């Protein structure tokens, strides 16, 4: 193995799994390891990742801890939100959308440091291995990919801890016992799965939730906010202009306070099995509702309905790891074109786990009160026109009906 890899860039959290992977790479591949830790707004201190890397012999110049929060929201979350993408009609793709950015930055660091390989800590049962590796190959076709969970024999938490103890790898106290569930977090969401969540009949325990109040304990008085949109992207809350990441973080605060964004889902993994997960997407749930609200005013029926047809396909591509594919880019171009006139303001009501659109206005609105009114429209619409419209649409149905009558 030592001849095949000289330097590898590892996606590194500083936790038990990736710390063991770091040491394992040094031993098995006899190579130099570069660590990359992405700050995607997961709410954790990232200093320990640097200290663990240094303890395990990584050179200071080969420890990368990058703040990617603005890029994450601006170039990945917002484009996905323009599509109204929901995987299997419910999941806002919080984990899925983070993987292409991590892959992209890993490849950039590999080129910067002269590394000839990249590595990740995803297991062989999940979707993340696919997402990471499709991203790597899409951006650097000849890069070598190392997936330790598909190679080593450390197949249990006990064996990981034994390896860590043997090699004096720091082990957080909460990793000593059997973890009740695993989590993944970023600015958009927190996901939890495994252990206490594996029986889909059992309700998610309250202690699993970390980002939202229990809706039953949320304020008894609803709160109203507004979100301003320009070309399909949120730009302000309550009239105050904000950067993409700042806007999403503020919506997270609202969602947390009102218990918004919880999802208990049994989903179909791309790898071929079903899994049960709990997702908390407080700000994203509010944002998704607001974006659909402004589109109600500004998108033509044909464009809106076509977008709704494209959205499940777009969501599936993101979920399955095809962010850098030509088909996703083609869909993105069409979706972005539809957003040119998606401008205006949406008013939302936040109350005990729910978000409701209660008002919307736009300088580019296609809504005409003069045409739609039940009062006198002063000739804006001739109701007699509907008769011919109905007859033309009914023609084929009448012909079918006559044939059916003849045939009994």
Active-site positions read: 17, 99, 128, 182
- Comparing CA positions, the residue from 33, 54, 47, 18 lying closest to residue 110 is 33
Place of tokens 């580019």: 364
Any idea of the CA torsion for 83, 102, 129, 45, to the nearest 10 degrees?
-110
Compute how many other C-beta atoms are within 10 angstroms of the C-beta atom of residue 285: 24
Strand-pair category, 32-39 with 63-67:
parallel
Burial label for 99, CB within 10 Å (0-12, 13-18, 19+), is buried
Residue 303: which residues within 8 A CB-CB, separation 6 or more?
A: 338
Cα 171 to its chain centre, rounded Å, is 29
**What span, in angstroms and rounded, lies between the C-alpha atoms of 93 and 210?**
18
Alpha helices in 240-384 (DSSP H): 244-258, 282-298, 301-320, 326-338, 369-372
Strand-pair category, 117-119 with 190-193:
unpaired
**What span, in angstroms and rounded, lies between the C-alpha atoms of 328 and 337?**
14
């Amino acid at each position: 193995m030592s001849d095949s890899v000289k330097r590898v860039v590892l996606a590194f959290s500083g936790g038990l799994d990736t710390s063991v992977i770091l040491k394992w790479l040094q031993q098995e591949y006899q190579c130099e390891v570069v660590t990359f830790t992405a700050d995607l707004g997961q709410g954790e201190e990232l200093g320990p990742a640097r200290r663990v890397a240094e303890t395990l012999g990584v050179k200071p110049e080969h420890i990368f801890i990058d703040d990617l929060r603005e890029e994450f929201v601006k170039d990945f979350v917002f484009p996905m939100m323009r599509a109204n993408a929901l995987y299997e009609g419910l999941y806002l793709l919080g984990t899925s959308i983070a993987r292409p950015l991590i892959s992209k930055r890993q490849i950039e660091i590999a080129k910067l440091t002269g590394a000839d390989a990249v590595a990740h800590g995803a297991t062989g049962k999940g979707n993340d291995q696919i997402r990471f590796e499709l991203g790597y190959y899409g951006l650097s076709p000849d890069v070598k990919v190392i997936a330790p969970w598909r190679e080593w024999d450390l197949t249990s938490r006990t064996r990981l801890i034994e390896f860590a103890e043997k090699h004096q790898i720091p082990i957080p106290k909460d990793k000593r016992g059997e973890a009740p569930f695993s989590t993944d977090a970023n600015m958009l969401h927190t996901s939890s799965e495994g252990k206490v969540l594996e029986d889909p009949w059992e309700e998610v325990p309250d202690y699993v939730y970390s980002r939202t109040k229990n809706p039953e304990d949320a304020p008894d008085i609803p709160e109203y906010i507004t979100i301003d949109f320009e070309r399909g992207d949120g730009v302000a809350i309550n009239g105050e202009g904000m950067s993409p990441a700042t806007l999403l973080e503020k919506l997270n605060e609202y969602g947390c306070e009102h218990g918004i964004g919880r999802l208990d889902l049994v989903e179909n993994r791309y790898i071929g099995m079903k899994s049960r997960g709990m997702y908390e997407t407080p700000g994203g749930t509010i944002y998704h509702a607001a974006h659909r609200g402004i589109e109600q005013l500004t998108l033509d029926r044909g464009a809106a309905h076509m977008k709704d047809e494209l959205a499940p396909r777009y969501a599936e591509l993101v979920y399955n790891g095809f962010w850098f594919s030509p088909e996703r880019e083609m869909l993105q171009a069409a979706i972005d074109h539809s957003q040119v006139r998606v401008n205006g303001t949406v008013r939302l009501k936040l109350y005990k786990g729910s978000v409701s659109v209660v008002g919307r206005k736009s300088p580019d609105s296609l809504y005409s009160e003069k045409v739609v009114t039940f009062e006198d429209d002063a000739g804006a619409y001739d109701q007699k026109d509907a008769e011919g419209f109905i007859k033309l649409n009914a023609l084929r149905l009448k012909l079918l009906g006559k044939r059916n009558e003849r045939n009994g």
